[in-house]
Structure 1
Amino acid sequence: MKVLFVASECTPFIKTGGLADVIGSLPKYLQGLGNVDVRVIMPKYSDINFSLTGYPQWQKSIEISMEWRKQFCGIETLEYNNITFYFIDNQYYFNRPGLYGYYDDGERFAYFSKAVVDLLPHLQFKPDIIHCHDWHSAMVPVLIDKRRNDDFYKDIKTIYTIHNLKFQGIFPKEVLYLMELDDSYFTFDKLEYYNNINFMKGGIIYSHCVTTVSPTYVEEIKNPFYGEGLEEVLKYHQYKLKGILNGLDYEEYNPSTDSNLYVKYSLKSLQGKTRNKKMLQKELGLVEDKNIPLIAVISRLTEQKGFYLIKEVLDEILQMHIQMVVLGVGDKEFEEMFKGAENRYPNKLRVLLKFDEGLARKIYGASDLFLMPSLFEPCGLSQLIALRYGSLPLVRETGGLKDTVIPYNQFTGEGNGFSFTNYNAHDMLYTLKWAVDIYYNDKVQWRSLVKRAMESDYSWEKSAQEYLKLYGEIKG
């Protein structure tokens, strides 16, 4: 079976969020299952540093029709980790800083989608399945469907994965014509969306199957609170919806081999985790005391991540006998909230307004609790890393957080973390106080929780097997 992933970003080449981690990991694990050839196609951004991976090789170029214009399209290939990557080269669209946020993003990713489809006959690789990810590639299923009477394209099946429904790719009607689509596509049952076009809506309607990144999220998005205006479309197409949990690359995230840590450790050597804690406390100027619970927050500082809950009870949290470390950037309101609290509680809180992968690993390795009270969370990667590193997640029960964090049950002893149901600051605070109480007063149970957290299996192997089964069903 041949599968082509279409995405706008991928580690280790370039990353703005969790999408890149998925595209950098899942193909490798799929290929490891055997009998499947998985390749990836993405834009060649000027910000990619190929010195770390090797440089792609030029293959050929074609012209892409964009309404009345012809646009250059180069294709370059690179073998990395036994996966073939195709890079679409166009200086006009991709030779600029960053990935998104430009006035012409609609045109840029209309070009990307059209280039992918037009290039297929030139790749010497005809996929059975094209697996598209998020709004940036959502028009590929539409364009494949348009060519369903063409012998080359008629047997190609498409799968569309929603990583975050909040970002849909909504643009003026004129972007339709750039892709050589006519007004027949501008109807409420196709691409039209409040007098604009909606890329994600197109991906949902025209693909053969739609997946989301956790079983809980696939149910949540059918109601208005989570549906972001597409809940009716999703309910209409629910017969082809499926939730498959994202995984974590356990080779990349492994405390027993992670060179970012002060001290490597494993389940058999948890004293190494304690040493990491004391060394992080020293580096950040906190009191060096292994007995004080260290709470970590590693996140974009946005409303989605639950920071209004933290804002409401932050002083009460910091009046507990704890230490807290916050790493991330985001909305100014939350950055200022944390910096103000750091000034009020200089011996308890450290706020690091940046993102630093090496420091993040140190914090995962040193912390006892990982706070993640998201308003919504399609899957979530941070709680999976926290589990892997023995930092017990404390989460709100939504999306992938509900699917991966099993709340501690004091009667049966089950669980690998803590959770609360309602989006309520005092419910979160109550759960946090309970967790801290267990930390101080029931060391045996706490060690048992850490052990179960680190033994939790959310690796990509299980998810890859589900995707492979789905590909087989779609291919027929």
Structure 2
Amino acid sequence: MKILFVAAEGVPFVKTGGLADVIGALPRALRSLGADVRVVLPCYGQIPDTYRQQMTDLVTGTVPLGWRNQYCGVKQLIYDEVPHYFIDNEYYFKRDSIYGCEDDAERFAYFCRAVLEMLPALSFQPDIMHCHDWHSGLVSLFLKTHYAAHPFYQSVQTVFTIHNLQYQGIFPHPILGDILGLSEDYFTIDQMEFYGQVNYMKAGLVYSDRLTTVSPTYASEIQHDYFGERLDGLLRHRQKDLTGILNGIDVQSYDPYTDPDLYAHADDLLRQKQINKRRLQKHFRLPEKERTPVIGMITRLTAQKGLDLVLHVIDEIMKSDVQMVILGSGEDRYEQRFSEFAKRYPDKLYVRIGFDERLARNIYMASDLFLMPSIFEPCGLSQMIAMRYGSIPIVRETGGLRDTVQSYNEATGTGNGFSFRNINAHDMLYAIHRALWFYQNPQVWNNLVKEASQMDFGWTNSARKYKAMYEDLKKMEDVT
């Protein structure tokens, strides 16, 4: 089974979010199950020189794009036994930012065409092309239009994964012919047209053989109007082809007993958390109180993450015997508001604007509770990492948060966190107070920490589900 992952980012080369973590970890898990999985990424200028120096040049050529013929080089680097290909064109990819350029429509259309153009020259004919998010949505479209008659691609099947439906790659109508080289026949409601514009994610949803998303609950949610981002009708139409497969985390990297970024290590997780908690309190100049619970938040500062709920009741949260540490960056209004509250409560609230991987890992380790009140969350990795480090999550019941966090049931003593259902600040506050109440019972809390830290969030189970889907697709192709 030969699989090619097509994505816009991947660990360790370039990362802006959880997509990169998936592209870094899932191919390794699939290879351990016997699949020949390879990855193709743009060769961004942001890729560190340590990796660029290890790349070898494979082929060069040109890529047709509307009326253009653009240079394309293909480089290769084998990382962690996974072959990685890099599409090299400095005009498109040597930029100050990975996304958000005014010509993103052209940049990622080029990337998708280049992936298809390069394959015959690489002596690698995939059974499955697994495309991720809108940046690669055109691969399936081009495969069935510009390459439909090419013998090399006759047996290639496609899978398209939605990592976050909110980001779709929507561009003006004229790009259809100018960049994509398609006629107006494709500008219809059942193909590329999207409220008078062209939608790259919609192309992936329409033309791919199978669709997946990153948790079972999110797969159900996006078929409804509230979460469907105006694509819910199409997703309901393709319901039989849509599967939710939960993301995993790299359990070797996120191992509290071996993580080199942590302040300190101990043989016992509870003991280790106490040591790191004191170090964190000292580092942030918070009172070093062993029995005062620390609530951690590591998040993009955007409305999706439920931050308005937190701001609405932050004064009430601060009235409790609690400390709070927030790490993240994003919208100015959230950066400013949380910074203002940190000045108001210097002994209880620390806010760091930005992102620091080492600091993030120490917050996971040192915090007692981890708050994720997301309005929607396709999967979420932070709650899994937090549990791995014994930090008990408080989440809203949505997407992957619902699939991974089971609210503590005092009657049965089961559960691995706390949750609330409604998008309501006081429902969230009640869940926080409930967690703080049980924190005062060491026996209950220690059992909660033990239960959470022993959850299996590795990639093996998810990889098996992906492999079964690939095999099912291949069987269907063999039959036809």
TM-score, scaled to structure 2? 0.97
Please name the residue that 2:93 is paired with: 94
Aligned residue identity for 1:115 = A
Offset of residue 52 of structure 1:
5.1
Aligned residue identity for 1:327 = L
Please name the residue that 1:347 is paired with: 347
Q: Secondary structure of 1:101's partner?
A: coil
Offset of residue 269 of structure 1:
4.1
Counterpart CA distance in 1 for 2:41 and 2:313 is 43
1:310-334, Cα deviation, whole Å (9 max, x unpaired): 0110000011100000101111211
Counterpart CA distance in 2 for 1:31 and 1:53 is 24
Please name the residue that 2:183 is paired with: 182
Please name the residue that 1:201 is paired with: 202
Contact 1:53 1:80 in 2 (8 A): no
Runs of 5+ unmatched residues, structure 2: 476-480
1:44-97, Cα deviation, whole Å (9 max, x unpaired): 001110415752101111111112221001000011100000000001100111
Aligned residue identity for 1:297 = M
Aligned residue identity for 1:230 = L
Aligned residue identity for 2:116 = V
CA RMSD of aligned residues (A): 1.0
Please name the residue that 1:382 is paired with: 382
Aligned residue identity for 1:191 = M
Counterpart CA distance in 1 for 2:153 and 2:421 is 46
Offset of residue 259 of structure 1:
0.7
Please name the residue that 1:292 is paired with: 292
Please name the residue that 1:234 is paired with: 235
Contact 2:269 2:390 in 1 (8 A): no
Aligned residue identity for 2:176 = L
Contact 1:13 1:50 in 2 (8 A): no
Q: Secondary structure of 2:37's partner?
A: strand
Offset of residue 217 of structure 1:
0.1
Counterpart CA distance in 2 for 1:280 and 1:153 is 55
Contact 1:213 1:246 in 2 (8 A): yes
Cα separation, partners in 2 of 1:50 and 1:37, compared to 1, 3 Å? farther
Contact 2:216 2:244 in 1 (8 A): yes
Q: Secondary structure of 2:339's partner?
A: helix
Counterpart CA distance in 1 for 2:365 and 2:117 is 46
1:244-298, Cα deviation, whole Å (9 max, x unpaired): 00001101111011011011246x4420111000011011101111111000011
1:363-390, Cα deviation, whole Å (9 max, x unpaired): 1000000000000000001101101000
Pairing of 1:7-18 with structure 2 (within 5 A): 7-18=7-18
The question of 1:4 aligning with 2:4 is answered: yes
Please name the residue that 2:478 is paired with: none
Offset of residue 357 of structure 1:
0.4
The question of 1:38 aligning with 2:34 is answered: no
Cα separation, partners in 2 of 1:280 and 1:53, compared to 1, 3 Å? farther
Contact 1:163 1:212 in 2 (8 A): yes
Counterpart CA distance in 2 for 1:379 and 1:181 is 34
Q: Secondary structure of 2:153's partner?
A: coil
Counterpart CA distance in 1 for 2:48 and 2:377 is 30
Runs of 5+ unmatched residues, structure 1: none
The 10-residue stretch of structure 1 (466-475 or 333-342) with the greater mean CA deviation from structure 2: 333-342
1:80-122, Cα deviation, whole Å (9 max, x unpaired): 1000000000011001112000100000001001111111111
Aligned residue identity for 2:150 = D
Counterpart CA distance in 2 for 1:290 and 1:193 is 55
Please name the residue that 1:429 is paired with: 429
Q: Secondary structure of 2:227's partner?
A: helix
Aligned residue identity for 2:279 = M
Q: Secondary structure of 1:308's partner?
A: helix
Contact 1:40 1:84 in 2 (8 A): yes
Contact 1:304 1:374 in 2 (8 A): yes
Q: Among the aligned pairs, what percent are the same residue? A: 51
Contact 1:388 1:456 in 2 (8 A): yes
The 10-residue stretch of structure 1 (234-243 or 179-188) with the greater mean CA deviation from structure 2: 179-188
Contact 1:372 1:395 in 2 (8 A): yes
Runs of 4+ in 1 over 6 A off after TM superposition: none
Contact 2:394 2:417 in 1 (8 A): yes
The 10-residue stretch of structure 1 (46-55 or 220-229) with the greater mean CA deviation from structure 2: 46-55
Contact 2:171 2:199 in 1 (8 A): yes
Counterpart CA distance in 1 for 2:297 and 2:270 is 21
Please name the residue that 1:359 is paired with: 359
Counterpart CA distance in 2 for 1:324 and 1:67 is 53
Contact 1:114 1:179 in 2 (8 A): no
The question of 1:154 aligning with 2:154 is answered: yes
Pairing of 1:452-463 with structure 2 (within 5 A): 452-463=451-462
Counterpart CA distance in 2 for 1:56 and 1:413 is 53
